[in-house]
Structure 1
Amino acid sequence: MTNTIGDVEQADVILLTGSNTTENHPVLSTFVKRAVSFKGARLIVVDPRRIKMTSFAHQWLRPSLGTDVAWINGLMHVIIKEDLYDKEFVQNRTNGFAELKTMVEKFTPEYVEQITGIPAKSIIDAAKMYAGAKKAAILYCMGITQHISGTDNVKSLANLAMLCGNIGIPGGGVNPLRGQNNVQGACDMGGLPNVFTGYQPVTNADAVQKMEQAWGVTGLSAKAGLKVTEMVPKAHDGEVKALYIIGENPLVSDPDLNHAEKSFGNLEFLVVQDIFLTETAQIADVVLPSACFAEKTGTFSNTERRVQMVRKAVDAPGQAKDDWWITCEIGKRMGLDMTYENAEQIMKEIASVTPSYAGITYDRIAYEGLHWPCPDKDHPGTPILHTTQFPIGKGNFHAIDFIAPDEKIDTEYPVSLTTGRVLYQYHTGTMTRKSEGLNEKAPGSFVEVSFKDAQKYGLQHGDIVEISSRRGSIKAMAKVSTKAVSGTVFIPFHFAEAAANRLTNAALDPVSGIPEYKVCAVKLSKAA
């Protein structure tokens, strides 16, 4: 997030898209609801489903799946045409405005309506509401990123924010809501194939040299590694022969699950390190039991870039160990002396090699976290990014055209499927599905259909439905709901016994490598 969670309450307008916030980020959603209910903020929700946040919205735009670039370009078309953009910000802090203006000229409200299904008047009204605010915040989540155009979608939202000068100000910003509790921290620490900690490129000779000196090694590779979504196909083809998986359950969460299972079956060696025996751990050659959050001391970096302490509350059971200890012991057995006394010593090393974390120490975050970048021990942290300039100087507009989703509906597969989460379960259910109370609230999978589609396919609430795509089939209970839009169904992905990802499409965003979880073509039939 460029801004903080609390900062949302300072916004005059909040644009929320690709996020079922009340179910995926229930704590954060209270800030949005408070801003609207008590502080006069106006809310624009862009989502194909009638999610709970639409009941708080002043405007609800309901686009067809996978058409985000089109409606964002449509908003910018209106803002530029009506002369509502922030000319001072555009002139002083951006490049590429002319190219952007040329690109969005064709995205008239009427043209956008043809692509997205959003009425032209709604595009105009939303554009004027967003551009008319002194402070407007954009919040988004995986409904924006999990498309073959996910990177384009994010760049388009950044275009919109820069166009209206909503970067670097309280109550503004472009704010991704992270999908898991330490995704931000994992990325910060180099849990990506192309960077060291703090997003220092592995292809940068100075960064490589710095890491070699810090670790007392030579010959670090300056070549970017594989993305997760590249590893699995290569395992299928025999190019990747071993995988070491920590805290992930791809045999429920990966797209095109039937293909993923075949890929894992072709591995010569699989190691899984986790707190429970997940579906993936069950097929592993070696399982390494690790400690959960309450059983270890360290830090988490949350969605607003706040680095926070977590302290050990209870001892880990059995032979479970801290993840860092396990990693170090493997390193020692491979010939590298990875010796640390504790997590704090590791944090000191992180600060020494990571400019954005250089000023963060356990003493400083003992009672309250700090937002990176925090470049030295006297720096107060940076709650709001880009207040005076961007890291590259001026921000670049990107002229982006609309591209359709990879898979389209047809006569054989006439229904669009999107996937997501429900409030009472989390991710692949590794932890939440072991809770009796949560299982009472959300016991199993379902397919959410509109009343119109239920009639069309002869379904009633509670019927068992077979849902099939070009990749596989599952059975789930029909949930006839006002949330659904005709022609589109929703299935949560938590439930291994009816895994939505047996249906989803493994087509990837060419830049990020994220699969298109949010749209594919399926067919429905009442199960025998």
Structure 2
Amino acid sequence: MSCDRLTHPLVRVNGELRRATWDQALERAAEGFRRNVGRHGPNSFAMLSCARSTNEMNYLGQKFARVVIGTNNVDSCHRTCHAPSVAGLAAVFGSGGGTSSYQEVEDTDVIVMWGSAARNAHPIFFQHVLKGIKNGARMFAVDPCRTGTAQWAERWLGPNVGTDVPLAHAVAREIIHAGLHDEAFIERATTGFEEFRESVEPWTLAAAEQVTGVPAAAVRELAHAYARADRAQLCWTLGATESHDATDNVRALINLALLTGHVGRYGSGLSPLLGQNNAQGGGDMGAVPNRLPGFQDILDPAVRERFEGAWGRAIQPRYGLDLTGMLTAMAEGEVTTCYLIGENPVQSEADSLACVKRLSMLDHLVVQDVFRTKTAQLADVVLPASAAWCETEGTFTNSERRVQRVRKAVDPPDEARDDIWIMCEIARRLGHDWHYDDAEEVWNELRAVSPQHQGMTYQRLADLDGIQWPCPSEDSLEPSFLHGRLWECDPVERGAPAPFAVLRRPPPVGPPDGEHPPRRVGARRGSADALLARPVTVWDGGPRTEGAPRRGRAQPDPARSGLQDRQANRGR
């Protein structure tokens, strides 16, 4: 067991964290929330839920914020990685999940991996990619770094950092000028095509080569292969989403699918590959500031009425603060208390010093975690939780929207407790007598308020080795792909059209200079880290990698290694 594993509650006394009983810690946590909400109102409270914990924990976490406290200020670390994917997909299709299944990657004709080191970061998914290649699929890798994924590609396109939108525009223009766009699908199922066509017109192959650094012939080859394929999958990861214009990157990729009709059909789709084991599930459970469980919009009066009836508490008809907004509100004194579950923003936020300063300004900070993280060291109360992957019952939702059971294998050590038990104990001290016998009872409550999960009983999840949402009925399963409605001839059945996005390329943020020569590339693995200005020491918030004695040796400082810009660092 790690020496940093939390095994008993801690409370701050005279500036130091000291061991406490559970009653002492829970009373201290509840009293601080009560004091701040009483003085400053419910929106002085913020909650960060955990993208690595179970759906049940995330459901209860957002319910704690909205019912016990009365605020929509709830978010998680997915804000720093794949929130742009959710925003882009939801803006076009109405829901923020990938549109395909892993199996479809094996049965497709073209696979485009955009900003994705999936071979290392998503090895299970990449096995499906390899099967697809074995079955005859052509793979294209788009990434500034020639990653392990690119080694399996038929063609690697290495664009300059920050030029995703121009490259996607050039691909779109070439498809249009070659007459390869699906005019019937565009006419029937989309809006805004003429404006989109006009917006990409300046991006000739020559112009794109000058800006992106990708040879015109390679751009043309990708465009023709993607558009001519009967089936095509477009997948992306942090290379596309950890950027100042990340949502534009995602919308630019969605435009390509709309242009060619590669969505809403088996074998064709859009797949964001999420980095956390339950980043998808956290959002699905409502652990975001603008959606209730089942990705239902808070601003919809009918949705609020349904949840208010189920929960017995009025829900604010306004979006809450996201993670960035929370930190800003802390600096301005508007957020004075925070409940942090399984997140370590001091490590994961880009400006860690600013994060420390803002968290230190809080009147009351409660951290619930498995490890004694850098964030936990700032807390007034630290609550030791169980590890979701082996000490907890529940479910996770993966990148293909598949909900799967996770089962408890061992008990948490010493005094560590299950997240659900901890939240219920704090809620009880704040006047809400919550009683859940087990995680399944929490899940069944979620099923009652989320139509897309209604047909997923624990027994059915076990029998079928997981189920993709939507699953509104216990008697049937939906197709593995989303948005098949776009192909319906009947306008009523087809529903709302999917809009093209007209995007303007923003100026670069923080261009390289003498003091900061390398440009950062978002990635889930060290193959892209040769472009970082400092050695990579931690992953995913830190607790699981900070203690690794070989981490610095595995990824040494690029400058000391004599590496130049865009060179790959192969750790020895």
Deviates more, 1:25-34 or 1:74-83: 25-34
Specify the code of the residue in structure 2 equivalent to 1:346.
V
Establish whether residue 389 from structure 1 lines up as the match of residue 470 from structure 2.
no
Is 1:109 the counterpart of 2:219? The answer is no
Which residue pairs with 1:225 in the alignment?
320
* 2:526 maps to 1:430: no
**Cα offsets for 1:457-504 (capped at 9, x unmatched):** xx5xxx3xxxxxxxxxxxxxx3748xx616xx8899xxxxxxxxxxxx
Give 5+ residue unaligned stretches, structure 1. 449-458, 464-477, 493-528
Tell me how far apart the structure 2 counterparts of residues 31 and 24 of structure 1 sit (CA, whole Å).
Answer: 14
**TM-score for the superposition, normalised by structure 1:** 0.82
Aligned partners of 2:414 and 2:515: how far apart in 1?
52
Equivalence for 2:239: 143
| 2:248/2:503 contact within 8 Å kept | yes
| Residue of structure 2 equivalent to 1:398 | 501
Equivalent of 2:374, from 262, 275, 279? 279
| Residue equivalent to 1:21 | 118
Question: Gaps (5+ residues) in structure 2?
Answer: 1-97, 488-493, 527-536
2 CA distance for matches of 1:297 and 1:411?
A: 52
Give the alignment partner of residue 420 of structure 1, picking from 500, 523, 539.
Answer: 523
Q: Going by fraction, where is helix more abundant, 1 or 2?
A: 2
Indicate the residue corresponding to 1:446 in structure 2. 556
Distance (whole Å) between structure 2 residues aligned to residue 142 and residue 176 of structure 1: 9
Range that drifts further, 115-124 or 246-255: 115-124
- The secondary structure found in structure 1 opposite 2:520 is strand
Please point out which of 353, 362, 367 is paired with 1:258.
353
Aligned length: 456
User: Which aligned runs of 4 or more in structure 1 are off by greater than 6 angstroms?
Assistant: 489-492
CA distance in 2, matches of 1:479, 1:415: 13
Q: Which amino acid aligns with 2:368?
A: Q
Match of 2:195 among 99, 104, 122: 99
Secondary structure class of the residue paired with 1:417:
coil
Shift of 1:327: 1.5
Asked if 1:365 corresponds to 2:461, the answer is yes
Matched, 1:317 2:317: no
Counterpart in the other structure of 1:39 = 135
* Equivalent residue in structure 2 for 1:7, among 80, 104, 107: 104
TM-score by length of 2: 0.76
Supply the distance in 2 between the matched residues of 1:90 and 1:9 (Cα, whole angstroms): 27
Aligned to 2:332: 237
> Aligned partners of 1:180, 1:191: CA distance in 2, in Å?
14
Q: Counterparts of 1:58-73 in structure 2 under 5 Å?
A: 58-73=154-169
SS at match of 2:367: strand
| Equivalent pair of 2:116/2:149 in contact (CA under 8 Å) | no
* 1:311-350 alignment, distance < 5 Å: 311-350=407-446
Q: Report which stretch shifted further, 41-50 or 317-326.
A: 317-326
Q: Which moved more, 1:187-196 or 1:255-264?
A: 255-264
- Looking at structure 1, the residues matched to 343 and 510 of structure 2 have their Cα atoms a distance apart, in angstroms, of 27
CA deviation vs aligned residue, 1:201-240 (integer Å, no higher than 9, x gap): 12221111111111123x3211211001111122223222
Task: Report what 1:75 is aligned to.
Answer: 171
The 1:430–1:392 alpha-carbon spacing in structure 2 relative to 1, beyond 3 Å, is farther
Q: 1:444 to 1:269 in 2, by over 3 A?
A: farther
Please state how far the C-alpha of 1:415 moved relative to its aligned partner.
Answer: 3.3
Residue in 1 that maps onto 2:35: none
Offset of residue 405 of structure 1 = 2.8
Note closer, same or farther for the CA distance 1:118–1:411 as it changes in structure 2 (3 Å cut).
same
1:349 counterpart SS class: helix
Partners of 1:297 and 1:311 within 8 A in 2: yes
What is the CA–CA distance in structure 2 between the aligned matches of 1:414 and 1:220, rounded to whole Å?
A: 48
Q: How does 1:503-522 map to 2 (within 5 A)?
A: none
3-state secondary structure, aligned to 2:460? coil
